[in-house]
Amino acid sequence: MKKLLLGDFAVARGAWEAGVHVAAAYPGTPSTEITEELARYPEVYSEWSPNEKVALEVGIGASLRGARAIVSMKHVGLNVACDPLFTASYTGVNGGLVIAVADDPSVFSSQNEQDTRLTAVSAKVPVLEPSDSAEAKEFTKLAFALSEKYDTPVILRLTTRVAHSQSAVETEERREVPLRAYEKNIPKYVMMPANARVKHVTVELRTEKLSEDANDFSINRIEAGDGELGVICSGGVYEYVKEALPGASILKLGMVYPLPYKLIEKFAESVKRCIVAEELAPHIETLVKAAGIRVEGKEIFPLEGEFSAKLIRERVLGEKSCAACANVPARPPVLCAGCPHRGVFYILSKRKLSVLGDIGCYTLGAVPPLSAMDAVVCMGASIGMAVGFDKSDPEAHRHSVAVIGDSTFIHSGITGLIDAVYNKAKITVIILDNRTTGMTGHQNHPATGRTIKNEDTYELDLAEVCRAVGVRRVRTVDPVDLAATEEAICASLAEEEVSVVIAKRPCALLAKKMYRGFKVNDKCKKCGACLRLGCPAVVKGKEGVEIDASLCTECGLCQKVCKFGAIEGEAE
């Protein structure tokens, strides 16, 4: 049956059809939907892991026991999982192990624009790259087969445009694959120096063999054109090339590492001008040039951002762009109306504190007018950075805080907190506990007490975790109660030890309630205090402040900052 499927859903479908037994992931745009979708299949054990490293380790264990396993993450998630990845490359697999990694060219929802293919080269792990949803499904199935045939984990690399586009997919039925027999095999699976030295040789031979065999893989194919221009490409870029350069010869690479050098050489010789079109790093180009094959690449294409058919026409054919865009006010993403984080950021902004931030919706606390964030680097970094701040400046703990979400704290904030206590830092950590993984679309995590399949489980108590690692000052507040929140933050800043404030209130989007919305009455003095909240529902209109009833969630923050009682409505 033909269905319109999101690239991520197609990966899930492919894994299910391939008989996958175990799926693990930490949510990360644009990869989240793979595991969300897999969780709907009763045949597949699925989990949200606390972070990508644990997810991959679960996958490695499942593979070791003979199961087929898929582990999914975004590009920066692979950094977290690199430690197990690099050595899983040495041990190889028992059941097929596929790692779906979604890169984010143009940085739609990430902190950087790194290229997973380069990580795969370092880890010596093969990479398949689908161009659309149909291929996403097919390549996932192929990845399992290659993983078992070549005894290696296989990376399935997606980009945002492939992961979050929908196209037609012919769905098939699941083929049950029995667990492979488990045999204890110390030389293969115990990576101590004597074994690792031997395995490294195996890995190099495996890569060489794959590179040789890849010349005959049907997913690496030449689409012959007029012989003037040849383009080597893969993934989403293949679709842009097909659209932009209909007459060109194309070498479409389904496997982008290791490369099929003989096929590439043959292709390059068959055309007058040979170009490598690839987003982000010059991965294919560098390897091809190192093999002595003459191609053009980043001489004409950018190193950053997504490509498009238009960009290819401009860079290859010299076509000029003529569309002029209107000069209109920007519309950056903002904390939603009713966001429980707003109260905290309002206080941090008002008190002009330095804020070491973290990854999540609340990164938007950096957006004006709140502008309450000084640094954001990676998952969990806020706490470590706060320790560094504290250790460099004896006064830092009086005017700086670390801010981290509940899911991010579990992902990799806890180790930072242990460091802070162990090394006698004086930092204040604010955990923004909105009871969900917000930015990626509301996934459960250990502190929600629910699994990926929404089953009840042990509910991790964040306050208890903080106390258990040695934090004596843990204060829990409702961030809509501005006075109590400000008091807790100020008390923490005054401490000479690590203190934690847990600002606990569910994400406003979880409520799914109908609201009438607040109204501004004629007591409004147009002082603008409410506008400093940066709430999208509180708007500077022609006649003064207005509240957009279609957005207002009656959280009551604007009432609390108004000194004149000009905002009417009953806070929920």
Residues engaged in binding other proteins (CB under 8 A): 2-4, 6, 29-30, 32-33, 108-109, 132, 161, 164-168, 236, 239-240, 242-243, 308-310, 321-326, 328-336, 361, 363-364, 367-369, 439-441, 514, 528, 531, 534-536, 538-540, 548, 550-551
- CB of 181 or CB of 328, closer to other proteins: 328
- Is the separation of the CB atoms in 358 and 366 below 8 Å? no
242/426 with CB nearer other proteins: 242
Strands (E), 171-247: 221-223, 229-233
| Nearest residue (CB) to other proteins, 201 versus 325 | 325
Minimum CB–partner distance for residue 96 and other proteins (Å): 28
Nearer to other proteins by C-beta: 172 or 223? 223
Q: How far apart are CA 156 and CA 218, in angstroms?
A: 17
Collapsing DSSP states into helix, strand and coil, what is residue 115?
Answer: coil
Shortest separation between residue 35's beta carbon and other proteins, angstroms: 14
Pairing of strands 154-159, 127-128: parallel
Which of 469/539 has CB closer to other proteins? 539
Tokens, residue 332: 């950056």
Distance CA 251, CA 285 (A): 13
In the complex with other proteins, which residue's Cβ is closer, 297 or 534? 534
The least CB distance from residue 429 to other proteins, in Å, is 23
Do 247 and 229 contact (CB within 8 A), yes or no?
A: yes
Shortest CB 308 distance to other proteins, Å: 5
Min CB(25)–other proteins separation in Å: 15
Cβ-based nearer residue to other proteins, 109 or 215: 109
Q: How far is the CB of 329 from other proteins (least distance, A)?
A: 4
Structure-token pair, residue 499: 């203190």
For the bound state, the minimum distance from the C-beta of residue 133 to other proteins, rounded and expressed in Å, comes to: 9
C-alpha to C-alpha distance for 129 and 256, rounded to whole angstroms = 7
Identify any residues that bridge with 93 across adjacent strands, giving them in sequence order: none
- Number of neighbouring beta carbons within 10 Å of residue 352: 8
H/E run at residue 99 = strand 97-103
Cβ proximity to other proteins, 146 vs 163, nearer residue: 163
The answer to whether residues 163 and 31 touch, using CB atoms and an 8 Å cutoff, is yes
For residues 175 and 99, give the distance between their C-alpha atoms in angstroms, rounded to a whole number.
20
Between 284 and 312, name the residue whose CB sits nearer to other proteins: 312
Which phi and psi (to 5°) does residue 415 adopt?
-65, -35
**How many whole angstroms from its chain centre is CA 249?**
35
- CA geometry: angle 117, 123, 125, nearest 5 deg: 70
Given a contact cutoff of 8 angstroms between Cβ atoms, the answer to whether 427 and 502 are in contact is no
What are 250's strand-pairing partners?
223, 231
Q: Nearest approach, Cβ of 331 to other proteins (angstroms)?
A: 4
To other proteins, the closest distance from the beta carbon of 326 in angstroms equals 5
- Write the burial class of residue 110 (CB in 10 Å: 0-12 exposed, 13-18 middle, 19+ buried): buried
CB of 34 to other proteins, least distance (A): 12
- Please, what is the end-to-end C-alpha distance for the chain in angstroms? 48
Closest to other proteins by CB, 187 or 369: 369
